[in-house]
Structure 1
Amino acid sequence: MDAAQSHRGSLGQTEINWDKLDKSKFYVVGAGIFTGLTVGLYPISVVKTRLQVATKEAVEKDAFSVIKGLLRTDGIPGLYRGFGTVITGAIPARIIFLTALETTKVAAYRMVEPFKFSEPTQAAVANGIAGMCASLCSQAVFVPIDVVSQKLMVQGYSGHANYKGGLDVVRQVLKVDGIRGLYRGFGLSVMTYSPSSAVWWASYGSSQRVIWRLLGQGSEHEGQVPSEGTIVMVQAAGGIFAGATASCITTPFDTIKTRLQVMGHEKRPTAKQVVKMLISEDGWTGFYRGLGPRFFSMSAWGTSMILAYEYLKRLCAKDE
């Protein structure tokens, strides 16, 4: 039995490896599923971003007041500022991410197999390596999209400039900073999303194994096939746990990165200045601005994404 098979262990009936997928169907159907998820969960990102860049003088200092303010001024479209830009870049970024994730995961399991770790530990290490590598590969596409969309999310809020759309943001950024402006905060973005992705996937992989064992689905019961409802419940629980863990660990980096990316050109702060500003305004709690929406966002995104992703893999599995 090779590593790609043996790593499945007690989850042998619930996991579908990369070599078992119809790739064409996977990418086409996946694009549709993840676009739908983005539509549903995008407003959470807008609220989280606005809270992270709010100054001391900002009137809207909690999630509900931000939502009310957006609905009052722009209606429902206000909750989707920057959405067009995100959708345009999300599909290629997602394809790169998922391809890197699945291919790296198989290699990572082979790499850790000789160490004879317990199944949850092996899953955590292999999934964590895969999540980090996938995030690193997708950052080249994701960071410019992040910069543009976040400027659109906060336009007109707390002193931030207004734009005519995504292309206008790109033109203005290129005019002032050149291509480097679209990669503002790239280092912090890598420091935020790569560990976040590693923690998320590591937590998801290991928590699933632990939950299965608690449910009596250990390797000695390998022949028993769990019901689809049970599989979905375990995957959802793993997604919630992973989102909670990742959001708590990486929110400070995300807050600093967001501020760096949306600050006006005339201010141009360094990461060190942003840190000092946050501490002077709110103390160390300033680094956890938007933690509530980020926690909810990562848990909701993570759980929805993993359920959709696992469903997508079942849908696109080749007939044997």
Structure 2
Amino acid sequence: MAMEAEAVSPQELALADTDINWDRLDKWRFHMIGAVLFTVQQGLLHPTALVKTRMQVAQSVSSSGSSGFKVFSHVLKRDGVVGLYRGFGTSAIGSLPGRVLHLTSLEVSKHMMMKYTQGLDMLPEVTRVGIANGVAGMFSNLVSCVYFVPLDVICQRLMVQGLPGTINCNGALDITRKVVKAEGIRGLYRGFGLTVVTQSPASALWWGVYGAAQHIMWRSLGYGDDEREKRPSHMKMVTVQASAGMVAGACSSVITTPIDTIKTRLQVMDDYDGVGGRPSIVKTTKILLKEDGWWGLYRGFGPRFLNMSLYGTTMIVTYELIKRLSVKKKE
């Protein structure tokens, strides 16, 4: 999959339309179309994120209902459809600047890594693609965490309003004010270190698996070697990219759910053991293990697996569509 138009291999020529590099994009159109389509995608998946968060924060699996379906039904019965979208407005609007930061750092770093790895002839092409995508995913996550962690803290607190151990607030601004008043700015960065340490490798894993899986799929379908003029149909392109995204999302959810559970509790709970004090990673983990054993670390795994698998599929299809719609017009 080529990132450069010059000096490319036959394989890269065959796959040129499946991987559009940063230089070929109209940046303004890229970010504007991305803002609209990613907000729609986020809206479709928000209920699964809400269910996952509530399952992770509940003081025990038995007290909240052990299945995601029960939590979903409870929220829907008590609050209606609106209840499934708690925190969505704040998340959708607040994510816009973060998406610009994330997408720009992702594309620029991937472009640079593809140029660099082209000189590593001793590595198989699928390995080079995986490494380039993985490094880009890790770097973009590191950059965007500075923006997204405070937003996550606020949105997750909106999602769990009314659960034991949480403080009732009147909207995002009220949450921000109360958190800053109680803990200062660092309160908005609860779980930041844990997020960086875990999500950056997870992002590297996601993008690395996606890049490698997509490359293997294209090669298995015969797009490579000497077939310079062969181009995949739009339907085949979407199918391959969606499949690779689903594989990447599923792999990532299995590996990262325990850390995500700890991080979510750390970010939203204030006094879930009745003794007060600022929660810590060790304290949060011990409470989870005490409540439900090792399975407690996989609270919300079903909704998270569904969320990340669907997210991986829809995100990458949306992302690749945005890139194709944003290609600069030839003069």
TM-score normalised per structure 2: 0.92
Distance in 1 between residues matched to 2:136 and 2:119, nearest whole Å? 18
CA contact (8 A) 1:60 1:69 kept: no
Contact 1:195–1:250, Cα closer than 8 Å, also in 2? no
* Match of residue 20 from structure 2: 16
Residues 169-208 of structure 1: pairs in structure 2 closer than 5 A: 169-208=175-214
What does residue 272 of structure 1 align with? Answer: 282
Q: Work out the CA distance in 2 between the residues paired with 1:38 and 1:47.
A: 14
Once the two structures are TM-superposed, the CA of residue 308 in structure 1 deviates from its matched residue by: 0.8
Whether 1:283 aligns to 2:293 is yes
Deviates more, 1:71-80 or 1:232-241: 71-80
- The alignment partner of 2:65 has SS state of coil
Q: Counterpart in 1 of 2:321?
A: 311
Indicate the residue corresponding to 2:100 in structure 1. 95
Q: Do residues 114 (structure 1) and 108 (structure 2) align?
A: no
Structure 1 residue 109 displacement after superposition: 1.4
Residue type of the partner of 1:164? N
Q: CA deviation at 1:241?
A: 0.4
Identity %: 48
Number of matched pairs = 319
Tell me if the contact between 1:129 and 1:198 (Cα under 8 Å) persists in the aligned partners.
yes
8 Å CA contact 1:132–1:195 kept in 2: the answer is yes
Superposition pairs of residues 138-153 of structure 1, within 5 angstroms: 138-153=144-159
Aligned equivalent of 2:132: 126
* Contact 2:153–2:268 (8 Å) recurs in 1: yes
How far, CA to CA, are the matches of 1:201 and 1:245 in structure 2?
Answer: 11
Which one of the candidate residues 280, 300, 305 is aligned to 2:310?
A: 300
- C-alpha distance in 1 between matches for 2:234 and 2:113: 27
Structure 1 gap segments, 5+ residues each: none
SS of the aligned residue for 1:140 comes to: helix
Q: 1:89·1:141 contact (CA, 8 Å) conserved in 2?
A: no
Work out whether residues 208 and 234 of structure 1, in 8 Å CA contact, stay in contact via their aligned partners in 2: yes
Match of 1:245 among 218, 243, 251: 251
Q: Secondary structure of 2:118's partner?
A: helix
The residue that corresponds to 1:47 in the other structure is 51
Corresponding residue for residue 155 of structure 1:
161
Offset from partner CA, 1:112-161 (integer Å, 9 cap, x none)? 22322112111110000000111111111100000001111111124422
Pairwise CA distance, 1:30: 1.1
Gaps of 5+ in 2: none
Q: CA deviation at 1:267?
A: 4.4
Could you list the per-position Cα deviations for residues 74-93 of structure 1 after superposition, in whole angstroms to 9, with x for gaps in the alignment?
11111111112111221111
**Contact 2:15–2:231 (8 Å) recurs in 1:** no
- Cα distance in 2, alignment partners of residues 68 and 13 from structure 1: 44
From the superposition, tell whether residues 218 and 54 of structure 1 become closer, same or farther in structure 2 (CA, over 3 Å). same
**Cα separation, 2, equivalents of 1:293 and 1:260:** 19
Aligned counterparts of 1:14 and 1:298: Cα–Cα separation in 2: 23
Contact 1:132 1:194 in 2 (8 A): yes
Kindly indicate whether the alpha-carbon contact (under 8 Å) linking 2:165 and 2:270 is maintained by their aligned counterparts in 1: no
1:80 aligns with 2:81: no
Partner of 2:4: 4
Q: Deviations over 1:154-177 (max 9, x none)?
A: 111244222111111001101100
State TM-score, norm by structure 1: 0.95
Q: Distance in 1 between matches of 2:43 and 2:171?
A: 18
Cα shift readout 1:233-291 (whole Å, capped 9, x = no counterpart)? 00000010000111111111111110100111634221011111222222222211111
Over residues 203-229 of structure 1, what are the superposed CA-to-partner deviations in whole Å (9 max), with x where a residue is unaligned?
Answer: 110000111111111233232011111
Distance 1:161 1:197 in 2: 31
Instruction: Please identify, of 277-286 and 241-250, the stretch whose mean Cα deviation from structure 2 is larger.
Output: 277-286
Structure 2 residue aligned with 1:32, among 29, 36, 49? Answer: 36
